[in-house]
Amino acid sequence: MEAIILAGGFGTRLREVVADVPKPMAPIRGVPFLTYLFEYLISNGISRAVLCTGYKHEVIHAYYGDVYKTLSLLYSVEDEPLGTGGAIKKGLSQVKSEQVAILNGDTFFEIADLQAMLSFHRENQAALTIGAKQMYDFDRYGTLLLADDNRIEGFKEKQAMDQGYINGGVYILNRSELMHDSIPERFSFETEYMQMYYGNKRFLAYKSEGYFIDIGIPADYHRAEKELFYE
């Protein structure tokens, strides 16, 4: 299995604490956040990753080059913002396998076994499988509406919730879902694919209790500095 990492965001909300690098390069205990994602992919048997970059993409390439340990790195550079969906579609042109893992470059969701998630995706003949994290007392994330068989029945907007499953920012996607002419070059993966097609495509949730952190705001970035460790 190969991976795509969405690493092209501007990181506007983090500018007050990390101003001179792309958000996925924000330093955590002296190493870029991306390094933690690379280590996670390696530990799950992934040896090839496509980085979808944009803002200050040269910083990422200059730091890592074309390989990190046993992980081969390829770059899909946006000349202009394509949205998350457009970035994934562009990155898929460098992917060889039919199924691909997709990760947000500012989120670490430690699903224990990505290969098990891939098996779940294949066995259930899903078009898309979303890593789902159960959260309590939150208002920063939207929630997934799930059937008993883990099929996704809808998406609830951000609001105060006592508990619920959120989209953890880790996906298994069939490459063929986006690699055809009817899919535009610029679109949002979240609103113009997931929320638009869940009713007539087989989208499933893969529940995991693994560690989750999203460094998109200063408070959680500082929390990551306390909780993440690099060996």
Nearest of 202, 191, 51 to residue 123 by alpha carbon: 202
What is the reported pLDDT for 13?
62
Q: What would the pLDDT profile of 25-58 be if each residue is shown by its tens digit?
A: 999 998 999 999 999 999 999 999 999 999 889 9
Contacts of 124 (CB under 8 A, 6+ apart): 202, 204
Q: What would the pLDDT profile of 71-96 be if each residue is shown by its tens digit?
A: 999 999 999 999 999 999 999 999 99
What is the reported pLDDT for 20?
75
Q: What would the pLDDT profile of 107-131 be if each residue is shown by its tens digit?
A: 999 999 999 999 999 999 999 999 9
- Calculate mean pLDDT across residues 146-169: 96
Please give the Cα distance from 173 to 177 (Å, whole number).
Answer: 7
Q: What would the pLDDT profile of 195-208 be if each residue is shown by its tens digit?
A: 999 999 999 999 99
- Calculate mean pLDDT across residues 148-167: 96
Contacts of 70 (CB under 8 A, 6+ apart): 42, 47
- Amino acid 193 reads Y
- Calculate mean pLDDT across residues 15-27: 78
- Dihedral through CA 180, CA 181, CA 182, CA 187, nearest 10? 90
- Calculate mean pLDDT across residues 210-217: 93
Q: What is the mean pLDDT of the chain?
A: 94
CATH, domain range 2-227: 3.90.550.10
pTM of the model: 0.95
The widest CA-to-CA distance across the chain, in whole angstroms, is 47
What is the reported pLDDT for 168?
97
What is the reported pLDDT for 187?
97
What is the reported pLDDT for 16?
64
- Calculate mean pLDDT across residues 186-215: 96
114-142 burial string, b = 16+ CB within 10 Å, else e?
beebbebbeeeebbbbbbbbebeeeeebb
| Strand, helix or coil for residue 141 | coil
> Which of 140-149, 172-181, 211-220 has the least mean pLDDT?
211-220
Indicate the DSSP class of residue 192.
Answer: I
